Structure 1
Amino acid sequence: MPPRRHQTTNNVGSHKNSDDDDEENDVSARTENLTCRTQDGTTGMCYSINECMKLDGRSVGPCDDDGGDDGPVCCVVERSCRNVTKQPISYFVNPSYPEKDTFGSFCDYRIDITNKNVCQLRLDLEEFSTYGPHKQLGICRNDRFVVLTSMPNGIGISELCGENDGQHIYVPVDASVGSASVSLMIVTSGIKHYLWRIRATQIDCKANPDLVAPPGCLQYYQDLTGVIKSFNYNPVDEGHYQSNLDYAVCIQRSPNTCRIDFNQVEKSIFWINSADGGYLEEGVGRAGIASCDLSTHDYLHIPGGRDGSDGIPALGNSESTTDKFCGRSLSGLAVTENIERMKSGYVLDPPDNTSLASTVATYASGPIIIRFHSDDIIEPHQELGFQIRYKQLGTGCMRPLR
């Protein structure tokens, strides 16, 4: 079965998409203004076979059932260290991918954006395994993944490391002046075998506004239900989240949503540093400013979060529980956020060493937002983080969550 074709109006046909000046001069305009996706989820662009070869791309099959040998092919562009691309969709991989590498190195990859309507770059960490953060300091001291942009305020985090398969981040860009660039850099120590495959997708904010993450959102989920987890969440290998993070996770609100339920994923570990430190037993949660909002402690912030453990969400004039959660469980409760308690103009204050404050809207028409905050860790850092499931509910909001 050939790759699935997807119509796009990314306006890339009016730009030359190549990986250096020679290719830019040689490669003709796109034969098809389409993206394509293989059965394993790999995303490419439809090019003629000659264009794909000039881009040093990899053909993964025809774009058409009836295109024949001369029809466009689904071309996947993969690059590793010391490379540059202008492709609207490309992959950044470790040198020996799909095999792991062992030697310490510095690997960089630059994405040049020439379409002036592109305002964001989405990075999907399809595979990402590096040496994790320091067990006491909580920082990426050996292996580090850094994203640098031409935007003055950065992206809201300074670096990532550890086990982050399946995670994603949004990077703001400004190509309105003619061009922009984003540099991906990975430093490896060789302490642990490492591997990565990162898909970089340029988002045309005029042609595809439904794909754009709201300003200030590092992550953006667009399904009615899904699972959100902290970076380096790895219970098998005793992974733990990083210190000095402060970022917003946003969920696209369904037009009919009147309630969203957050629950700890069954059989998962929820462990966020609290005032009680490592003395809490598993299953013991904490909520509120006194336990979860001290200068040296961390929290998961769910604005308007309330107790829904009895299956009937708190509605109307009932009292809201404290909306910051930490400890060894999500307070042992199903947390409910209701539209009546949403705030507008919620301000995210990232750490001083990453970026300036960004504003995200949480009103009825805006996204649903949760926030994860972790400060500097001054004791042995054992906390694993969180893995929670969200579910948007519209009609029948008085019914228990099933």
Structure 2
Amino acid sequence: MTGSSGMYGGDNQLAEGISLTTSAPTSPPKRTTTPATTLPPIDPVPPNSGTQEQTGQQSTTTTLETPIDPVNNPDSTSNRQTTGVTSCGDTSGQTTINFINPDYPSHTSQQGDCILTLEVQTGVCQVRVDFVDTELSQPVNGVCNDQRLIVGGDIWPMGVKSFCGNNSGQHFYIEMKESQASRRVYFVVRSSSTVPFKFGLWITQIKCDGSSRYQAPSGCFQYYPSSYGAISSFNYGGLYYVDQHYRICIKSAESACDVVFIADGPFMIEKFGNFKTFPFTRAGVTSSYCVRDFLLIPCARQDFSSVTHDRYCGGQLSYKHGDKESRGLVASITGSIISLEFHSENTLGKYIPEHHKPGFKIRYTQTSSSCKV
């Protein structure tokens, strides 16, 4: 593929569907040699303080998360502080980099493609991306149109095609293909609007030699190695995207037998079968009601119940279809990884925004209280 050097310069050999749109400005943005954004919140604080939440017959203590270096040294931030800042038109092969808009921490209003080329190191099988300070235009009917982050290159297909809206605190993994001797990942922030936007991303290359705590199992789009934490849909609080199909993985704690899930804020995923007696604001369970969009929590149940369900949707998170309020779910831990999935299809018929907002935010806590000795 041939073309100009992009919005702010960049590599001309891009992945399919990523094009160059405008010429480079006369003066490239000035940047310092230290990271411009704060560190991504990775690990939860030890559970010695926080707020209690009721989970049916159990209560758990959860706390806010604190930023630390997720890959090279989980006990310090020193490695993060010495990494370089990159922006439009840059190419980097560093282990950890900070990718920002040209005017960061202010907003940028220029249209076009802002392209970062990541040269992948030998032995790296995945790249972790952390959203730290990102404000792009909101999706329209679940589709990122005016401004979006697109990822391409020598990678396996991802479960989310593009990202927009507000995703600070979120992360995702990119799985690399092994077929090419020289591999690259292209990060493209595309804006077709003059609406001001900004972004700050941490991008970390992870070698799959077992040395990193944050090496995700193959096939996991998100990975949570802690025994408790929070998980939310992308752009939580706004419309969730259509056409998403991805897997969320939690590392099982060796001492735990169950994991408890509880809604941590408003919950809404499109539900079928909405009637006056069971409106869209009520909880939905099973494939009869959670038909196209759903959060999959395998074999989740009410505590001490033998009745389980996999699919959850509607306006509450509950094991009881038609429930007016959210209730805690419990699932047995049956292996080294606890696996959830989120699915949303393309629009079928009339799109109703109220049925697709705000998505989901849940807290999970692994427990040993029911373990048999």
Provide TM-score, normalisation by structure 2: 0.72
Instruction: Go from structure 1 to structure 2 and tell me whether the alpha carbon gap of 1:244 and 1:174 turns closer, same or farther (over 3 Å shift).
Output: closer
Instruction: Go from structure 1 to structure 2 and tell me whether the alpha carbon gap of 1:126 and 1:286 turns closer, same or farther (over 3 Å shift).
Output: same
- Cα distance in 1 for residues equivalent to 2:120 and 2:314: 43
Instruction: Go from structure 1 to structure 2 and tell me whether the alpha carbon gap of 1:73 and 1:300 turns closer, same or farther (over 3 Å shift).
Output: closer
Residue 285 (structure 1) aligned with residue 283 (structure 2): yes
Report deviation, 1:217. Answer: 0.8
Task: Determine if contact 2:35/2:98 at 8 Å carries over to the other structure.
Answer: no
- Structure-2 residue corresponding to 1:333: 327
Report deviation, 1:380. Answer: 2.4
> Residue type matched to 1:380 in 2?
I
Report deviation, 1:142. Answer: 1.6
1:193 to 173, 193, 196: 196
- Cα distance in 1 for residues equivalent to 2:361 and 2:35: 28
1:298 to 285, 293, 298: 293
- Cα distance in 1 for residues equivalent to 2:361 and 2:127: 25
Report deviation, 1:92. Answer: 0.8
SS at match of 1:290: coil
1:2-401 alignment runs, 5 A limit: 41=39, 74-114=81-121, 116-135=122-141, 138-151=142-155, 153-174=156-177, 178-206=181-209, 208-234=211-237, 239-265=238-264, 268-276=265-273, 284-293=282-291, 297-308=292-303, 313-314=304-305, 318-320=306-308, 322-331=309-318, 332-339=326-333, 342=334, 364-365=335-336, 367-377=337-347, 378=349, 379-382=351-354, 383=356, 384-396=358-370
Task: Determine if contact 2:40/2:169 at 8 Å carries over to the other structure.
Answer: no
> Residue type matched to 1:369 in 2?
S
Report deviation, 1:260. Answer: 0.2
- Structure-1 residue corresponding to 2:21: none
- Cα distance in 1 for residues equivalent to 2:226 and 2:80: 30
Ranges in structure 1 where 5+ consecutive residues have no aligned partner: 1-18, 21-35, 44-71, 343-363
Report deviation, 1:180. Answer: 1.4
> Residue type matched to 1:336 in 2?
V
Report deviation, 1:396. Answer: 4.5
- CA displacement, residues 344-397 of structure 1 (integer Å, 9 cap, x when unaligned): xxxxxxxxxxxxxxxxxxxx13x1011111111232233220010000112455
Ranges in structure 2 where 5+ consecutive residues have no aligned partner: 1-9, 12-33, 42-78, 319-325
Moved more, 254-263 or 208-217: 208-217
Give the CA RMSD over aligned residues. Answer: 2.8
Moved more, 177-186 or 382-391: 177-186
- Cα distance in 2 for residues equivalent to 1:146 and 1:73: 24
Moved over 6 A (4+): 36-39
Instruction: Go from structure 1 to structure 2 and tell me whether the alpha carbon gap of 1:244 and 1:176 turns closer, same or farther (over 3 Å shift).
Output: closer
Same amino acid, percent of matched pairs: 28
Task: Determine if contact 1:101/1:194 at 8 Å carries over to the other structure.
Answer: yes
> Residue type matched to 2:294 in 1?
Y
Task: Determine if contact 1:113/1:175 at 8 Å carries over to the other structure.
Answer: no
Report deviation, 1:191. Answer: 5.0
Instruction: Go from structure 1 to structure 2 and tell me whether the alpha carbon gap of 1:397 and 1:389 turns closer, same or farther (over 3 Å shift).
Output: farther
Task: Determine if contact 2:213/2:225 at 8 Å carries over to the other structure.
Answer: no
Aligned residues: 292
Instruction: Go from structure 1 to structure 2 and tell me whether the alpha carbon gap of 1:42 and 1:380 turns closer, same or farther (over 3 Å shift).
Output: closer
Moved more, 204-213 or 154-163: 204-213
Report deviation, 1:284. Answer: 1.8
Task: Determine if contact 1:117/1:175 at 8 Å carries over to the other structure.
Answer: no
- Cα distance in 1 for residues equivalent to 2:206 and 2:136: 27
Question: Which is helix-richer, 1 or 2?
Answer: 1
- Structure-2 residue corresponding to 1:25: none
Report deviation, 1:211. Answer: 2.1
- Cα distance in 1 for residues equivalent to 2:299 and 2:181: 42
- Cα distance in 2 for residues equivalent to 1:147 and 1:164: 16
Report deviation, 1:118. Answer: 1.0
